Chain A
Amino acid sequence: MTLKYDFDWPMLLEDPYREWIIEGFINTVYLSLMAWGIALMIGIFIGTIRMTRSPMLRFIGTVYVEFFRNIPLLVQLFVWFFVFPLMLPHDWMMSWNRLPHVPFLTALLALSLFTAARVAEHIRSGISSIPKGQFDAATSSGLTQVQMYRYVIIPYAFRVMIPTIASEFLTIFKNSALTLTIGVSEITSAAKSIEAWSFHGIEAYSVASVTYMTTTATVVLFMGWLEHRLRIPGLIAKK
């Protein structure tokens, strides 16, 4: 066999490939956006309880983070897909299985919970990056614990954390590709199917790669703009 490859880019615009690509793109975007939203909410909650004074709450938060971070996402997906329904009471399991789009829901669940652990870590390191003097200054000026977080710490930490929170969207966007293993028709699975049907791997995988790379570039540019808008003058130096 020689190094020979016939390119056929126009085929990507023909059905069924065109349809697969559109469906895959929509699923990837839906899944990532929804999972990102849920992950932010859970992540902020877990991150906050890890900063409280209660050892019990802190312990729960730590266990959550360690658990979800130290098991590969693909294994988590399989556990949610194959094991989780078996753990439900019998009639719950039946109704779960009767739901439409079970793979999509499972993927949403797994991606959200996994990413929430990462968000919780970012929240914690964001808050601990604030100089200790800020806490002292707020406390000494008579603010209560809640006021201190509300007016001083969170507004400060939020700006520091914008880049990491945005990059978590990109992480989810890329991680959503793993859900093809449980049957979600997202963009990488569309590319894989096109390759399997047409043997035109380069064209097929290019579609997926271009999707990920343009999305990344767009988000990075947008975040650069947002960071610039919200910057604290003189504090966070431009690179």
Chain B
Amino acid sequence: MTDPLVDIRDLSLWYEKFKALDNISTSFSSGRCVVICGPSGSGKSSLLRCINRLEEFQEGDVLFEGQSLRECPNIAALRSNIGMVFQHFELYPHMSILDNITLAPRHAKGKSKADAEALAHTLLERVDIADQAKKYPAELSGGQQQRAAIARALALEPKLMLFDEPTSALDPEMIVEVLRVMRDLAKDGMTMLVVTHEMVFAREVSDEIIFMDDGKIVERKETDDFFSNPHSKRAQDFLDRILMKI
């Protein structure tokens, strides 16, 4: 078996006195799509943000392709291999969609303007908003903005994509178009870590499911296994509540 893409070792994270992540060890291999679910405050977003060191964890370490994040001499270069998609899109409101997408390829990866723009147009095509390149974020619908944000992350030509509740801020009809883009990505073999409450998406698309609570990983199972077999009481309660809502 090959080395995992991401290897998390005894990771703990505190916010002041509050322990958000409690001694987590796990790993993720290339080409897999893993969904992370759990009640709010369970630490799932924090875990995601430790993987590109947006959170400065206090204990343990995260290895990306064998490189320790704690001892990483150039964290910016490492981050430019990991795409991230945020709940509230976080497109830069003062730049056109095209500039949003080409900014990091040009300034973090040193691509030429022409190369970056060619790549951006291909990606906009792929997320189905090719005609919006010249517009500004505020002129787009929420679903279009999130797809643009996905294109921005893909422009890094990343080895890993992190999705932090990408559909929570969207209306139902827009959720569908964002999930479709994500499903296509997974089919193409992109390595994905997705924090989400979309259980239908999880069942259809993901390979594995992680259930978190209180800063710990309570369960980790193959998707079919997770939905068909009984599991821990906490996961069952959570699932009941989530599925009831649908």
Q: Does a CB–CB distance below 8 Å link A and B in the complex?
A: no
Residues of A within 8 A of B (CB): none
